[in-house]
Each structure stands twice: as C-alpha cells, then as structure tokens.
Amino acid sequence: MSSRPKKRLPEMRVASFPVRISSILCTKMRVTAGSLLVWTLVNLGRNLTDTVVTRKAHTLVTAGPYRWIRHPFYAATALTIVANGLAAANWFLLAAGTMTVALLVARTRKE
C-alpha cells in the first residue's frame, strides 16, 4: 500500500461566481422552470401528446404561458438543463445539455 496522499481534482467554478451565489441562482432557475412546466401542463389539458402530431379535435391554447411563449414546455426543459449544468459545475453536462436544447429547437420547427 502506498502512503502517498491522493491527488484531488481541481474544483471547477461557475464563471467567477462563488459557490453560494451560483447554487442560489441555479435553485431559482430550477424553481422557475418547474413552475413554468406545471403551469404549461395545466393549461394544455387534453391537448398534451407524447408525439409531434396534430389531433383532429385539437384546440389552439392561448391561455397561461402560451400568451407569451410559443413553446413553454421546451423553454422550461431548456432552463432546467442549463441550471443543472451550472449547478453541477461540469462542462460536460453543460455541453450535453446545450446539445439537447439544440435538438429541442429542431423539434419545435416541426410543431
């Protein structure tokens, strides 16, 4: 057995923010995203589908967050992904999240 101390990996800082400020910011982003998601699902009602299809008996939703945002579900998802990447202070998660957001943007063009 070696008695050498283990090398610690360097800590990653989120931009130049101290950890406390960045964790508070990320928590606020997550709460905002969660609230937007719930508000969206409540206002979608029976129009919620798991695939990109238009139902025969659909209605145009213009209430709730749809008054201001065309795709609030995707906006909430994107905000959550960014918040998680920043909270983890992991560039890989942030990059993977950015790619996921890019795929969501591509999907919104179909809708």
- Closest C-alpha to 80, from 37, 40, 42: 37
Measured between alpha carbons, how far is 99 from 20 in angstroms, rounded to an integer? 27
39 pLDDT tier (thresholds 50, 70, 90): very high
pTM of the full structure: 0.66
- Closest C-alpha to 72, from 47, 41, 102: 41
Q: Note whether 65 and 74 are within 8 A (CB).
A: no
What's the mean pLDDT in 27-43? 92
Give the list of residues 6+ apart from residue 47 with CB closer than 8 angstroms, or none: 55, 58, 59, 61
List pLDDT tens digits, range 3-23: 666 666 555 555 555 566 677
What pLDDT is attached to residue 32? Answer: 95
